[in-house]
Structure 1
């Protein structure tokens, strides 16, 4: 069966390793003992994501791959994980006809690249087969099959299964069994149990030489298509290819139930809270910004705290971090700096960071509260609330912090430590309910 025409991706996504390019092949930094001869050209790699499920086990009307985590569809996180690997040249998503337009909107909104769409079938295996048929005309050497609802896949495990597939024809990630597998009898009693130490759980990603898996699917029976779930078994049954099993990391779990959405949310929030950038208006190492940075480093010793300086001439920041940082602490913000703050927020928005994750911005104003009434100081920062409402629509969670810059050394230290605790909570929780709040330390 000859596949129909499909649109080709115009450009690659963000690249983690090596240089990018729509025709990028396998990475040059293969690990020793990976099964690829030095100087060989393992060829091109593509991926197929079956995304036609209806979320029956989750018990929600929205298919789980389209459920939102931190206001972003789950499948977008999985696509991002694959796009960041520049040697994956093409990603085919098999999606149902009724969700085709929604998938196109996700690709456009979140600026995904190298994505092609194929129509999903009635079952998982039929969806995978349709994805493979979409690649058949310009077939890759190796194809990765991965679940749309496994968003935490890293380049290392992708590289290992692809390398093993190149040598053995097929490979898949496995994990130790958490629970013992038992077989019940017809009357509901225990018949026998498996020795957990001798068995493993089959996970994703899996990888195959394209000819191996395509040949297997071409020979599948209707029973395989309707009731089968294991691609490695099809390669063994129809292509006589024994898959190499690769020990995978613990974060290959699949979002299946509602509680898994909460777990995914927690993992993502933890991941994007590991970097904090302190933005200040001076390089003076005795400034409040530098002092706050040092306190944050001590209070949050597991978080990387960096700093940058606001350029008032252009309203931008020097060396604006655009890759991993989603938390910004802007120090010494006063009402006279409203325009500079807006320019900073515009630069932040233009970077594209808020498209992918909610970005926390804390505007910190330091002043000695013994020299001026607290009420007047808080009043001068009320503009933050209205600005926060507007920024929330852009996925930027903005809040204000008034920090008591006392001349008393002990009180100053206590104020900075309390401020660091407040900042840590805002960064970790990323709660839209806290956006627009004016807090006091």
Structure 2
């Protein structure tokens, strides 16, 4: 039996970068779609909703947990998809269609990761029946329901987390004009048709065909009418929503060229690929935090320059520690999850502890783990690394404590040699170590003191 919509809210607290402008509460319900001729006085807003079928059992994944709930960097895959959808602040409602047995788990995910504008609907026994249930929740005027019928509805798979707002805008705009639209990609392999005896019957000319991807978008009345008319066979065995719009409403969908990131997590190996992509994306920004207001020529500035030179594919910026408290929210909005804390003052580790307190109070490690590399300088000519390490052993217990808050803390000692060539080499090695720690995000190394 269908379950009524649950949940709700407004713009997410941590939505990530938006291609469109930041939306206020009164703007989050719609997107301005302009006519093909450009901006005209008659342009208006358009009510948009999204339906995400998430009732699959993940049979091809070969694991007991449905793939949409499989952890990627300790976070369920579906949470990444919801985060990407929430970036489009003009989508009014996001309907997640989930099985009754997973309803509570989905509610916990929404609460834990602070997802907004989400409503839950109980899934059907097949993909098309689940989508139909999601559409009915938007179409029906249910008592006490905050949902209202949109003009355009997006249909997207819960296990396709790597899409940007621009592709959503393109398919929604095309659907408004043509009635239906969907993202497509060139075929990677040639499609062949086997005969009854298992031999080749014929093959398709690859250049003339496309792979159907998600997201897809429809005028709501078009896709809802198609589902109301479609046969039980379609509901049981069909997979292509665009085909239903063509078959029952005679609407030819506009095909929108999508990016390579639209692939679907299907097999277990795809989880590792997804993890790699996410790591790559959240490793593109490093914030160097240092308290150097009394010494503008401190070696920490040399480290910053070396990081910018050695890691030229990563955006490196600096932040004065004494201002970090007021600027931490700005850093959060720019999605920086990697910090290099340069310890300048005595006692050792003081600056790192101050930064960690700020991160703990901000609580912005909900979506992704934060990497903090605590950097210390030592002239090996006058003191051995072992002596410095002994004084910094408190980092181990501190790292264990912070790991519970999804903050990964590592220590790095850099040889502060008076020889300029040796100093540059140490800084270069330090930059390589920092890059590796940020990219790998290896929890087994937290609390370790590495030497450059």
Alignment deviations for residues 225-268 of structure 1 (CA, whole Å, 9 cap, x no partner): 10000000001111111111101111100000011101000000
Q: Is the 8 A contact 2:6 2:119 kept in 1?
A: yes
**Aligned mate of 1:104, from 100, 107, 131:** 107
Aligned to 1:229: 239
Q: Is the 8 A contact 1:22 1:89 kept in 2?
A: no
Alignment pair present for 1:288 and 2:292: no
Aligned to 1:76: 79
Cα shift at 1:163: 0.2
Q: Is the 8 A contact 1:288 1:331 kept in 2?
A: no
Root-mean-square deviation over aligned CA pairs: 2.0
- C-alpha distance in structure 2 between counterparts of 1:115 and 1:372, whole Å: 57
CA 1:32–1:403: 2 relative to 1, 3 Å: farther
Cα shift at 1:437: 0.8
Alignment deviations for residues 194-230 of structure 1 (CA, whole Å, 9 cap, x no partner): 1111110000000001100111111111100100000
Aligned to 2:444: 433
Cα shift at 1:395: 1.1
Q: Is the 8 A contact 1:204 1:252 kept in 2?
A: yes
CA 1:421–1:61: 2 relative to 1, 3 Å: same
Query: Greater CA deviation, 411-420 or 275-284?
Result: 275-284
Cα shift at 1:374: 2.5
What count of residue pairs does the alignment treat as equivalent? 437
CA 1:168–1:352: 2 relative to 1, 3 Å: farther
Cα shift at 1:346: 2.7
Secondary structure at the aligned position of 2:135 is classed as helix
- C-alpha distance in structure 2 between counterparts of 1:164 and 1:197, whole Å: 23
CA 1:34–1:178: 2 relative to 1, 3 Å: farther
Secondary structure at the aligned position of 2:217 is classed as strand
**Aligned mate of 2:400, from 389, 405, 411:** 389
**Aligned mate of 2:150, from 130, 133, 140:** 140
Structure 1 gap segments, 5+ residues each: none
Query: Structure 1-normalised TM-score?
Result: 0.94
Secondary structure at the aligned position of 2:84 is classed as helix
Q: Is the 8 A contact 1:46 1:143 kept in 2?
A: yes
Aligned to 1:260: 270
Aligned to 1:53: 56
Alignment pair present for 1:419 and 2:430: yes
Cα shift at 1:10: 2.6
Cα shift at 1:337: 5.3
Secondary structure at the aligned position of 1:143 is classed as strand
Query: Structure 2-normalised TM-score?
Result: 0.92
- C-alpha distance in structure 1 between counterparts of 2:164 and 2:363, whole Å: 22
Q: Is the 8 A contact 1:36 1:167 kept in 2?
A: no
Alignment deviations for residues 163-219 of structure 1 (CA, whole Å, 9 cap, x no partner): 000001100000000011100011000001111111100000000011001111111
Cα shift at 1:31: 7.0
Aligned to 1:327: 338
Q: Is the 8 A contact 2:6 2:121 kept in 1?
A: no
CA 1:331–1:49: 2 relative to 1, 3 Å: same
Q: Is the 8 A contact 1:310 1:318 kept in 2?
A: no
Structure 2 gap segments, 5+ residues each: 142-147
Secondary structure at the aligned position of 2:331 is classed as coil
Cα shift at 1:37: 5.8
Alignment pair present for 1:20 and 2:24: yes
Alignment deviations for residues 382-425 of structure 1 (CA, whole Å, 9 cap, x no partner): 11111111111211110101111111111111110111111011
Alignment pair present for 1:244 and 2:248: no
Cα shift at 1:428: 0.8
Secondary structure at the aligned position of 1:122 is classed as coil
